Amino acid sequence: MIQLEQILTPGRSQVNVPGGSKKKILEHIAKLLASDCAELDEDSLLDSLIARERLGSTGFGNGIAIPHCRLVGCTQPIGALLHLESPIDFDAIDGAPVDLLFVLLVPETATDEHLELLRQIASIFDRSDIREHLRNAPNDQALYQAFLTAQTEAGVK
């Protein structure tokens, strides 16, 4: 079983990310992940994220979104964690603007493992104390560490 700390890196954990709009955030995510993972193509990643959002918003509620997609060329799950400098409309199920995002990319052939990772991420973000801790992280490294700590606190393996 893949652990969340295996798919998230300090370099893909960012605070004070400029928001603006859902599209701008998805563009930022595509640029960030394509620059960090040589096997990913920024344009096809952006297209895949937008296509997934068209199926239904990945806005989870409580200011959280979990943009995710299956991706050709992706060989293992890849994660990124962003805290926006100001919340944006993400068409979340509760109508609340989003300021915390966990991005999950999985191989095109992913199955139960993909769903299990989404479940783990959702269970971490389900706790208000954890959301507060993540929102208060002063820098990228602190955000990364706060997520690893949250994973342990939430009992996610």
Compute the 3-state secondary structure of the chain and give helix, strand, coil in percent, each to the nearest 5. 45, 20, 30
Distance between CA atoms of residues 69 and 48, nearest Å: 6
Buried b (16+ CB within 10 A) or exposed e, 133-142: bbeebeebeb
Catalytic residue among 28, 68, 83, 114: 68
Does residue 68 have an active-site annotation?
A: yes
For the chain, what's the residue count? Answer: 157
Distance between CA atoms of residues 124 and 130, nearest Å: 7
Which residues are marked as active site?
A: 68
